[in-house]
Amino acid sequence: MGNKPIVIGIAGGTGSGKTSVTKAIYDQFKGHSILMIQQDSYYKDQTHLPMDERLKTNYDHPLAFDNDLFIEHINQLLQYKAIEKPVYDYTIHTRSSETIPVEPKEVIILEGILVLEDERLRDLMDIKIFVDTDADLRILRRIQRDIKERGRTVDSVVDQYVNVVRPMHNQFCEPSKKFADIIIPEGGQNFVAIDLMATKIQTILERVSVL
Ligand SMILES: Nc1ncnc2c1ncn2[C@@H]1O[C@H](COP(=O)(O)OP(=O)(O)O)[C@@H](O)[C@H]1O
Ligand SMILES: Nc1ccn([C@@H]2O[C@H](COP(=O)(O)O)[C@@H](O)[C@H]2O)c(=O)n1
């Protein structure tokens, strides 16, 4: 066990490919001392709100996230304590009633649109990454993904993108790029960047002798 786990933050706009990058890195170390947590798991609980109210929520504003709980959980993991991670369901716009037990690991990857926006989160990170992809590609990817995986229609994705996602991205996500140590263009297919990150993580795991 090391002194404390290493925390890597991976931010980027919706559809930039940050989940793909995170999974590609994570998959290279599956079974070793690494875990990934999506900020989306910490969207605020809205079970008390009716569906029509949930549909009106701005999911791209920093206040949509329960960062207090997110930070509390990261701090627990940094002390090598297990957490009960919330489970988010995009189709009903709220948390499900179950949680997932997560054991502490030496490398913790935090991924989400606004993980670099909150100074308290940034202060917990050892490495900060921003996945940078042009907006036209991001909206095309999001349309395909949200219809296939999140139960949306083309009209609803386009409407949400124009009225909420785009302005919030410009106000909160894009400016957080300046806090990144590393900027990865294009996301999931950038194998050079993924390999570089994997090499770095391998060194960290070798140092704490858990590989
Ligand atoms: N470089 C890429 N080229 C083509 N499609 C990609 C690329 N990176 C990601 N995707 C696809 O785009 C969609 C959004 O990617 P994802 O990694 O979920 O982005 P994010 O987590 O930033 O929203 C997914 O369906 C994914 O398979
Ligand atoms: N109920 C919700 C919650 C979130 N969103 C959108 O998800 C995006 C963040 O996830 P990515 O995987 O795309 O980074 C964010 O832009 C929210 O608009 C949603 O549509 N509904």
Closest ligand 2 atom to the C-alpha of 112? Answer: 14
Q: Which pLDDT score is estimated for 156?
A: 94
**Which one-letter DSSP state was computed for residue 136?**
H
Assigned fold of 6-206: Rossmann fold (3.40.50)
Scanning the chain, the segments in alpha helix (DSSP H) are: 18-28, 51-56, 67-78, 119-122, 135-149, 154-160, 166-168, 191-207
Q: Which pLDDT score is estimated for 210?
A: 53
ipTM above 0.95, yes or no: yes
Residue having the nearest C-alpha atom to atom 11 of ligand 2: 14
The response to whether residue 113 sits with its C-beta less than 6 Å from ligand 2 reads yes
**Domain range annotation of the chain:** 6-206
In a structure prediction context, what are the per-residue pLDDT tens digits for the chain, which is 211 residues long? Answer: 768 999 999 999 999 999 999 999 999 998 899 999 999 999 999 999 999 999 999 999 999 999 999 999 999 999 999 999 999 999 899 999 899 999 999 999 999 999 999 999 999 999 999 999 999 999 999 999 999 998 899 999 999 999 999 999 999 999 999 999 999 998 878 899 999 999 999 998 888 865 5
